[in-house]
Structure 1
């Protein structure tokens, strides 16, 4: 649709600062402008405007008046639109570089101009990218990304791509960039800092190790950082994509024969074993071992996901998406409007959102057992603890702990009687009843029975290891000692812990 309004804003790019690179068409626009606005006066081309007596108005005062860059850009766009619409005039708005490269004000104008009745035209200009490709000497076809220093995060970084980081206005920004880069790259990785690229007598290009990024001077409006791409194995191996690729290769016809043969069922037990090995590292407070064992658990997730990817049902990225969406949905007190002042309220929100998920899936809560949701294959002790907690929530619980102690005595008596018979099945059942009652005591005391028994197992290992050590010192074997001597060493071990 052709606009009939006479309110117009034409955005032009001032280029990187070299007058010889300014296009003839834009130079004529600047000369003929009745109303010329500059986003900032801090640009080499401003000297050319002054030499040719071209009048202009800059928005540098807005930077000083606002607390953040987004506020600055909103204010500039608002003033430009208001001036053009109210005066029904033509405005030339000049920005550094190319108007469509790292120019938030232009994006705001594009989004708001139509509804304000202002016709917007965006013309070109040499981008700092042109000079970066030229002066740094890399081809973006090899893989390239442009990132904003103000919003940079480690998750955006890809070592396999050339990375340009713009908007590095000062040393503080450079320091933040350094910290993000160090999450992916080693401290001595070489990066390149460029100031005023392509501007005669002002250009500075420095190659430095990453850890010195905030120790050099000269950062300003025309500064950027280049992180060269790399195929280094240590960098590739830090990426999730590389892990996915490796597992795909292992399962491929050219991969590992053992990995190709595995199914969900054949490696089912591996997942359980790996989880227990992680728990062991947690109990041992061994971060290095924990790092390795968590990787083994992740491998199991990758293998199961890869098997499904091969059949076309889902990929590991579907697993990640499902998890992310679940976390967002179940934390309305973090990502929504619900509030939670403590962990108990947060847990209530979690449970409420879980119930909402089931409702959306067509699962009617009133038709489900109170005990539903407890995994079928949990270890028995852990499962007993969970089902008791669920039953207690609806009032099916002991009045006080003394009643549970009485129940333990009753179950112990029944176990003693059953063990005197030849009925193994009955004895098994009575032992289970006794263990179940003991779990009730743990729940009543708010102690996880799995953790309690794990601690006792660890204590037993330590004390028994002391007995073995004493046997070695005495140059004895177990068949050369007796229970009395072992019990003495056991008590010595108890006194040491």
Structure 2
């Protein structure tokens, strides 16, 4: 499609969403709220990840559409109260991209782009009156492994050899706790949590994504298990 054809399809999607939410629209769509749609955003995101793993272009296109629907749906709901609409959403991200890429849309040098990106993000938070604490900058809704790794990166990850040493130490503690009859579940869980945290530190130090690594490994294990077991 050329640019005009693409824009026409986007306009069509916006019109469909408006009609679904109209008084004579779909009852299910009309009763949805920003909060009730949260689970669908998460589900569609994971379905897109699976499609990307499989590499099927048609499936990826379909799942991108499902995720786009969630963006359009949320924007439509907020537009009905006059808060913002899809145009405001597009304007917001366009402005942000230009602001965070001064080496493309301005006269800044290409060198030091990553450090400048972080400085711009901090400046944006200051201008909005938001706190720059890590508690505010690292979303609590992130999956636990990803959140722990992001924390390690933000604070500055430990050198990989120190993380390895901590992992070895925690394994010793865990073995000891599991062998002691008087150790409580809390003691064992504490040792496991520290082991997981130090593993995330190691991932941050090596540039790895523990969430993605574990997701891929689990997919492989499930496929291997299914290949060895017959299900009817």
Using the size of structure 2 for normalisation, the TM-score is 0.89
Q: 1:277, CA displacement in angstroms?
A: 0.9
Q: Which residue is equivalent to 1:380?
A: 144
Q: Which residue is equivalent to 1:466?
A: 227
Distance in 2 between residues matched to 1:287 and 1:360, nearest whole Å: 41
Distance in 2 between residues matched to 1:355 and 1:280, nearest whole Å: 33
Distance in 2 between residues matched to 1:307 and 1:421, nearest whole Å: 55
Unaligned ranges ≥5, structure 2 = none
**Max radius of gyration: which structure?**
1
Distance in 2 between residues matched to 1:284 and 1:346, nearest whole Å: 32
Q: 1:340, CA displacement in angstroms?
A: 0.3
Q: 1:417, CA displacement in angstroms?
A: 3.9
Q: Which residue is equivalent to 2:197?
A: 436
Q: 8 Å contact 2:126–2:132 — kept in the other structure?
A: no
Greater helix share, 1 or 2?
A: 2
Distance in 2 between residues matched to 1:314 and 1:296, nearest whole Å: 21
Please report the RMSD computed on the Cα atoms of aligned residues, expressed in angstroms: 2.4
Q: Which residue is equivalent to 2:37?
A: 267
Q: Which residue is equivalent to 1:411?
A: 170
Is 1:307 paired with 2:77?
yes
Query: For 1:360, which of 113, 120, 127 is the aligned residue?
Result: 127
What is the number of equivalent residue pairs in this alignment? 230
Q: 8 Å contact 1:252–1:260 — kept in the other structure?
A: yes
Q: Which structure exhibits the higher relative contact order, with contacts defined as CA atoms closer than 8 Å and separated by 6 or more residues?
A: 2
Moved over 4 A (4+): 419-422
Q: Which residue is equivalent to 1:339?
A: 109
Q: Which residue is equivalent to 2:218?
A: 457
Q: 8 Å contact 1:331–1:349 — kept in the other structure?
A: no
Q: Which residue is equivalent to 1:389?
A: 153
Q: 1:370, CA displacement in angstroms?
A: 4.5
Q: 1:428, CA displacement in angstroms?
A: 2.5
Distance in 2 between residues matched to 1:427 and 1:265, nearest whole Å: 36
What is the 5 A alignment of 1:77-156? 154-155=2-3
Distance in 2 between residues matched to 1:301 and 1:321, nearest whole Å: 14
Distance in 2 between residues matched to 1:335 and 1:441, nearest whole Å: 36
Q: 8 Å contact 2:174–2:192 — kept in the other structure?
A: yes
Distance in 2 between residues matched to 1:444 and 1:409, nearest whole Å: 16
Q: 1:448, CA displacement in angstroms?
A: 1.4
Unaligned ranges ≥5, structure 1 = 1-152, 158-183, 185-234, 478-497
Q: 8 Å contact 1:333–1:349 — kept in the other structure?
A: no
Q: Which residue is equivalent to 2:186?
A: 425
Q: 1:294, CA displacement in angstroms?
A: 0.7
Distance in 1 between residues matched to 2:126 and 2:150, nearest whole Å: 23
Q: 1:265, CA displacement in angstroms?
A: 1.6
Q: 8 Å contact 1:277–1:293 — kept in the other structure?
A: yes
Q: Which whole-Å deviations, capped at 9, do the CAs of 1:388-434 have from their partners, x for residues lacking one?
A: 01111xxxx53x43332221122223333444557333332322111
What is the 5 A alignment of 1:13-92? none
Query: For 1:256, which of 26, 33, 45 is the aligned residue?
Result: 26
Q: 1:387, CA displacement in angstroms?
A: 0.1
Is 1:290 paired with 2:60?
yes
